[in-house]
């Protein structure tokens, strides 16, 4: 059986830093960018621990702005 690894892509300019995706992630993959902000002045989400991503897409389901896309890759 193939092993699945996930990858999260965040649209940085649409993200308003609500942290719902960070809380929803069971694998502690996402965090808010501590120093950088987008054009609107928000700290945006990014993959802090990309190797932990299991591709469950919980972050994408809870994002109110639809700025998260989750990809699954077979290894």
Q: What whole-number distance in Å separates Cα of residue 21 and Cα of residue 42? A: 15
Q: Where are the domains of the chain?
A: 4-74
Q: What is the residue-averaged pLDDT of the chain?
A: 94
Q: What whole-number distance in Å separates Cα of residue 27 and Cα of residue 41? A: 27
Does the pLDDT value for residue 1 go beyond 70?
no
pLDDT reported for residue 2: 67
pTM as predicted: 0.88
Q: What whole-number distance in Å separates Cα of residue 57 and Cα of residue 1? A: 21
pLDDT in tens, 24-40: 999 999 999 999 999 99
Topology adopted by domain 4-74: Alpha-Beta Plaits (3.30.70)
Query: 45 with 21: CB under 8 angstroms?
Result: yes
**Other Cβ atoms within 10 Å of 2 Cβ, number:** 7
């Amino acid at each position: 059986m193939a092993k699945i690894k996930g990858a999260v892509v965040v649209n940085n300019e649409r993200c308003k830093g609500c942290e719902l995706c960070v809380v929803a992630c069971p694998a502690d993959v996402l965090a808010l960018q501590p120093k950088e902000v987008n054009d609107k002045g928000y700290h945006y989400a990014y993959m802090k621990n990309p190797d932990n991503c299991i591709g469950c897409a919980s972050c994408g389901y809870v994002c109110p702005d639809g700025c998260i896309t989750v990809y699954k890759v077979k290894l």
